Amino acid sequence: MNRQSRVKHIADADLKLLRVFKAVAESGGLAAAETELNIGKSTISKYIADLELRLDLKLCNRGPAGFSLTDDGEQVLRSAEGLLASVTDFRAQVNEIKQQLVGTIRIALFDQCASNPEAFVPGTIREFNKAAPSVEIELSLEPPNVIETKVIGGQLDIGILALHRPSPSLDYLPLYGESMFLYCGKGHPFFDCDQTSLGLPDVQAENYAGIRVNSPNLHVGQKLGFRRAAKVQNEQALAILIMSGSYLGFLPDHLGDGFVRYGLMKKVLPGEISYRSQFAAVTRKRPAVNRITKLFLDTLVAAHSGHGDGA
């Protein structure tokens, strides 16, 4: 391919091809993207080939050996994500001018708010849908560091995560909390022992699993001097490690107590070892949030201030 050629303008057709490429990359292959794009594999393949021809770059390897992005493809994907996010922002700003609540709002949560009785996110979404029925919601679960990065970069409109070392680039709106306790799994030495004989040094000597990213979980584990022997990105993975009987780990009680009821976990020194996390909605400070995002934030605040029906 001639690397000296230049892309002189971006047309609507190019944006369509970039969206297809992004979906294929995120799905991990052409066949996997068929459901997401609702088009056949042969058509997807043609679109990718058209984009490669348009950009004069080989973006991916596809064939019997499987799908993978080339180095050029990785760079184009990052650029495409920024471009498509800007297009979404532009559309939202135009709709703002036209005073229409139409478009897309992109929201990401950290892990287990669905089982937290203090979190009224489902009720918020219900009320938001009543007020803005034409707005499409994109909802995902992400690690907290990814949420902050994507909100700052404009790939997300709102993130909901545990408060810890706030970023100067973000605004934080406190919403709800959760209580965190240390758990062990069935088969762990602490599971059937008399815990009245246990002390902090005994806990410090055991294998501990924690969230790997900058978070209250990481901070508390370090402060207590726990010996971290495994790292995870989310609490579901952490629960699996705890259930192995090989690790101790902190879980919110609304998640961990469900495993306790089934005889799979037990709290470790709950009267001595626990902490409280505060969750907040985060948005980037600049540019100012649009009407759609402000409506969702206002609905969040109303739901959590009044402790309404979050189910």
Give me the pLDDT at residue 23, please. Answer: 93
Average pLDDT over residues 208-226: 90
Kindly compute the dihedral angle of the four CA atoms of residues 70, 76, 78, 83, in this order, to the nearest 10 degrees. Answer: -160
Give me the pLDDT at residue 311, please. Answer: 40
Question: Which H/E stretch holds residue 94?
Answer: helix 71-97
Average pLDDT over residues 183-194: 96
More confidently predicted of 308 and 224: 224
Closest CA to 138 of 255, 245, 36: 36
Computed over every residue of the chain, the mean pLDDT equals 90
**pLDDT above 90 as % of the chain:** 68
- Give 50-76 pLDDT, tens digit per residue: 999 999 999 999 888 889 999 999 999
Alpha-carbon gap, residue 212 to 214, rounded angstroms: 7
Residue 46 pLDDT greater than 90, yes or no: yes
Two tokens, residue 267: 């709290």
Give me the pLDDT at residue 308, please. Answer: 41
Residue 137 pLDDT greater than 60, yes or no: yes
Query: Helices (DSSP H) in 194-276: which residue ranges?
Result: 200-204, 216-223, 235-243, 253-261
Residue 281 pLDDT class (50, 70, 90 cuts)? very high
Which residues have a Cβ under 8 Å from the Cβ of 140 and sit 6 or more positions away? 106, 107, 108, 109
CB-CB contact of 280 with 174 (8 Å) = yes
231 - beta bridge partners? 210
- Give 149-176 pLDDT, tens digit per residue: 999 999 999 999 998 888 999 999 999 9
Quick one: residue 28, left, alpha or beta (phi over 0 = left, psi -120 to 50 = alpha)?
Answer: left
pTM value?
Answer: 0.67
Alpha-carbon gap, residue 33 to 13, rounded angstroms: 19
Give me the pLDDT at residue 4, please. Answer: 54
More confidently predicted of 227 and 11: 227
- Domain architecture of the chain: domains with CATH: 12-84 (1.10.10.10), 87-167+287-306 (3.40.190.10), 177-277 (3.40.190.290)
Alpha-carbon gap, residue 109 to 158, rounded angstroms: 9
**Lowest-confidence region among 5-19, 214-228, 243-257, 287-301:** 5-19
Residue 243 pLDDT greater than 80, yes or no: yes
Average pLDDT over residues 9-34: 90
